[in-house]
Structure 1
């Protein structure tokens, strides 16, 4: 059939679409903890320290490079299939799409707020009860690398409940309705319970009065925000069934909690 061919009616036209590559990145052989994979989606357990997307200062060595090496077909999917992100030093579950249709479905679920994302966070201070932070977030007016609660920011809603209490810290479970950059870190700092170890929003290092040697050591050695994406649930793009995954706490976070539990 030529481009100018006229149809008479009743014909059947079949299109064979070819996916064009949307990235110039190169795949890199970086270890990946694949929790689940099929023809439509990938679920990754990201370690702390791994950047998700290339950016200034991190042109390669990212999760995106690792995904391209693992599944070269992702070169034809926007951002190599990644539809949401985790901060570099946040560990836990992250999803990626392997087809354009799956990518569309996952983005729509995020927009509809039907993706279940639950985090574990260790915050400073005694949280007396659970609650909700419903405050808009935008870039900090002075430090453009940071974010802050701003009246002209984008809507952001964070729900939290107490999971375990310690004398000077609280382990909380957090559920997100929205997915703003640094949302949990910004919101918990806003209610005066910043995440332990947060180098941006945590303020100066706080060592509790009377802390034992083991607690002082583990707090000083914990060089990242104590935040872990523990659960991820979604409706599968192909089967339309709800699936959920859970990630165990990484060793550094687990050891931190063990020391806290041993304190009098």
Structure 2
């Protein structure tokens, strides 16, 4: 008996809408990301939430260019990669495309993430590095190649579920509430906005503990994943899992929802 034919592949999506959407979200998000990184890493603990955001929007903007470019290519790579895999591999399980694309992007981007977060610490910048390249050299000199990828395991635990959740929720909402035949511009933007916000918020809430764990691993290079987890549990119980969650909701949910929303808005303007 002949096996059933594989579903036909679809044309690849256009990369440009993904890059434009991700770039716009990255520019908006830098101060929010900076505040979240400092809160989750325990930097500037003496500051209130208002004080932390006030500090985050003020110069010096250490690592600004690398963070914005890194966020742009990373989110574009994840969403475009996921869409491209779904188009070319329609028989794959729904989870697999975002799982593959987000894992690859996280591993490639890890040294920039490590350097960028380290630059938000006054103790780190006072020791010399003030640019991302300086930070990469400093980390390599002190810890070798392994140091550049420290926190990768926690980073994958944080990033991959976040984007898998966001993509799966986004696609599920799109299937449940497809575009109607007649829809005004306001109704379309509202529908796309709701889909983007729900998908991004779901991903951010579920992965906050992994964010904290990854950032703590950057602060304590001598501890691995399990050692850092054990230290956090011993010193803070389970309270550490919600550390910085309000800022994470803003710094993660805002750019991801903006990215998803703008991709949907830009795609009709740049057909495949």
> Smaller-chain TM-score range?
under 0.3
Highest CA radius of gyration, 1 or 2? 1
* Larger strand proportion of the pair: 1
What TM-score results when the alignment is normalised by the length of structure 1?
A: 0.27
